[in-house]
Amino acid sequence: MRTKTILVLIALFLSLASCKYLHIDGYSGSTLIWESGANNYFNTESPSLLDLVSEIIITGETDGEQKVSLENMPWHSVTLREVVMDGDSAKFLGTFRYDGVALCDILSSVKIDKESKEDFYPPVDLYVEVWNDAGEFATFSWGEIIYSNDVYNIIIAKAATRVVPGKTGEKWEIPQSGKIVVGTDLFAERGISNPTKIVVKSLKGNFKVDRDPEKFYSEKLEIIDGNNIVADFSSIPVNLPKLDRRTIYYGHGMGYKGVRTFSGVRIDGLLRSLLPSTKEDLRTGLICIEAVDGYRASFSLSELINRVDGAEPLLMYGESGEKGRESFSVYADSDMFADRSVKGVNKITLY
């Protein structure tokens, strides 16, 4: 028995020693320091820990205010070529691998008490504001956090590693504080520092729910900025190039819907010239895509017009004989689930 205990202790010592002396990264399992001939270019130097609170407050449309500890949650990595808007141009801050806690993990155990649940139960109209103590906030739709094809692409970073170019050896300034990191954003305007609170909200408006409308389509699509109609369309402008997206269509509730091909135009091609896109707009902007039957889904402005991955939703017009797609409809290309692919669309509103 004593011999077996000694052998277990020796094995434990060797395991711990290997993490120290072989430089094994406990989160990704990769070598922390890149050496000549290695193939992991995201670990060119040791990570730097960032200052961050140990817990975050969740409030809003929830079952009471809650505090969620960030200490024992799994870490995920997001690599970012970090650029922010600088007037009419872009300012490059560096390329980093950020490691931290995913927003989807933080929100996964939070019980939602949605204000609109009596007449509209699906959570697709939810969104969150992530706040810091400086009074800044960034807006995220519930769908881009929970329904995404990659739910671990939005994190609160707890560590940062520079991805150093091999020839120039250029090293950029590492941030000191924890921050929001969004792997899909072109301009990192939602990357606020020191997040401390998440507020859960739902879309507000004069929605009229009719689950079996006589006419499940609209002859006109209105683009609205606040209370002002900035444009309306009876069809999709012919100057916008049409794309085909083939997908495995799958609903959160109804499951497999078949292999489908959706044809339409990137929604940013229509919206970019009609809606504002300042630094603040990209950080806080919220969009409601609404249908004639009262169905609606929230989208952050950034996930529609500020993407770096080319996965903007498609705006479609009369692409099939399916009910609700005789006129305007949307296919949410970046989502795992079909629930934000809205049919019978008649309004797109910037809040």
Beta bridge partners of residue 221, listed in sequence order: 233
Q: Tokens 């083939």 label which residue?
A: 246
Return the pLDDT at 5: 56
Report whether 268 contacts 305 (CB < 8 A): yes
pTM of the model: 0.88
Half-sphere exposure of 84 (CA within 13 A, CB side): 11
Instruction: Give dist(CA 209, CA 296) in Å, integer.
Output: 10
β-strand partners of 349: 224, 288
The CATH number assigned to the domain with range 221-350 reads: 3.90.420.10
pLDDT in tens, 182-193: 999 999 999 999
Query: With bands split at pLDDT 50, 70 and 90, how would you rate the model's confidence at 209?
Result: very high
Residues 128-175: tens digit of each pLDDT: 999 999 999 999 999 999 999 999 999 999 999 999 988 899 999 999
Cβ–Cβ under 8 Å, residues 337 and 251: yes
| Cβ–Cβ under 8 Å, residues 265 and 315 | yes
Alpha helices, H only, 156-300: 267-271, 279-284
As annotated, the residues of the chain forming the CATH 3.90.420.10 domain(s) are 221-350
